[in-house]
Amino acid sequence: MSAKPTTRASSLAADSYGPLSSLLLLSPFLLLLLAAFVYPVGKLLLTSVFSPGWTFEHYQHVASGPYARVFVRTFVIALTVAGIAGVLGYPVAWLLTRVKGKTAFLVTACILIPMWTSVLVRSYAWIVLLQRNGIVNDLLLGTGLIDEPLKLIYNQGAVIMAMVHVLLPYMILPVYGALKAIPVDLSRASSNLGASSLRTFITVMLPLSMPGVYAGSLIVFVLALGFYVTPALVGGPSTLLVATLIGQQVTQTFNWPFAAALSTLLLSATVAVTVVFRRFMSFSGRL
């Protein structure tokens, strides 16, 4: 008998916020969104097509050979980083769901402490490791594996390695969340039905954890598209990425309209990737 008044009171409380009240509650967020995102993006778009008159020459300039190759290189590196992060991050996330106590604390610390460290510091650490007189070359020379120092830095391999190191936690955490949400009874039921541990993983655990893999891959890919500090420090002229190119246009050549065109195209590509990912996830029935 007492359940009906409670339900009615809950319904009245849920309906007490009308359109005006909801708009007032959202107004601080909407103002922040307008000032911090909508206005700058609109200004950026206007700058790219109006300098001083209406023109699309900056976008045509971006489509030319060298700059188009920079965009292609950026997408290839971002995809490579996301793929390597997935291969390396999944076993770590799997391990984190299986360990307890001090081991779990140690693994978690190894994942989170790098996230709390400045990207600039981690990038410089890779320079110390990979430079001509760095630790890696000294070790290889000391063991007699090489006769002269190798060029391990200022190339595409160094950029990918350093970016994977920085972005790996953003892959591990979503995968860990997906694995942790899978009921333990499913793997036990699979084992009781005669499936081996490998078959249980392939047919049960891996498919159910794919939303975490997809989410982590999207996060890493989008972050890698706009990465600036690490490619600028560890990479060279042959590994120029879009974010670094935008920085050069703003700080060195002061070509703001061209930098605005580059930024608009990069933002559009990021939004397109996110929309396609969302559609794919909805089509596959995972979201």
The beta-carbon contacts of 123-131 under 8 Å, at least 24 apart in sequence, are 123/162, 123/166, 123/229, 123/230, 123/233, 123/234, 124/233, 126/153, 126/158, 126/161, 126/162, 126/165, 126/230, 126/233, 126/234, 127/153, 127/233, 127/234, 130/158, 130/234
Give residue 190's pLDDT: 83
Give residue 283's pLDDT: 58
User: Tokens representing 114?
Assistant: 């790098």
Closest to 280 (Cα-Cα) out of 272, 225, 170: 272
In whole angstroms, give the CA distance from residue 116 to residue 128.
Answer: 20
Question: Quick one: fold of 58-284?
Answer: MetI-like fold (1.10.3720)
Contact (Cβ atoms closer than 8 angstroms) between residue 216 and residue 176: no
Give residue 216's pLDDT: 93
In whole angstroms, give the CA distance from residue 270 to residue 287.
Answer: 20
Contact (Cβ atoms closer than 8 angstroms) between residue 82 and residue 224: yes
**Environment class of residue 9 by beta-carbon count within 10 Å: exposed (0-12), middle (13-18) or buried (19+)?**
exposed
Using CA atoms of 120, 274, 157, 249 in order, give the dihedral in degrees to the nearest 10: -60
Give residue 226's pLDDT: 87
> pLDDT for 14-48, tens place per residue?
456 678 888 888 888 889 988 888 888 888 888 88
Give residue 16's pLDDT: 65
Contact (Cβ atoms closer than 8 angstroms) between residue 258 and residue 271: no
In whole angstroms, give the CA distance from residue 236 to residue 132.
Answer: 14
Give residue 2's pLDDT: 47
Give residue 224's pLDDT: 92
Query: What type of residue sits at position 194?
Result: G
Give residue 174's pLDDT: 93
Give residue 14's pLDDT: 47
In whole angstroms, give the CA distance from residue 48 to residue 41.
Answer: 11
Residues of the chain with pLDDT under 50: 1-4, 9-14, 287
In whole angstroms, give the CA distance from residue 40 to residue 22.
Answer: 26
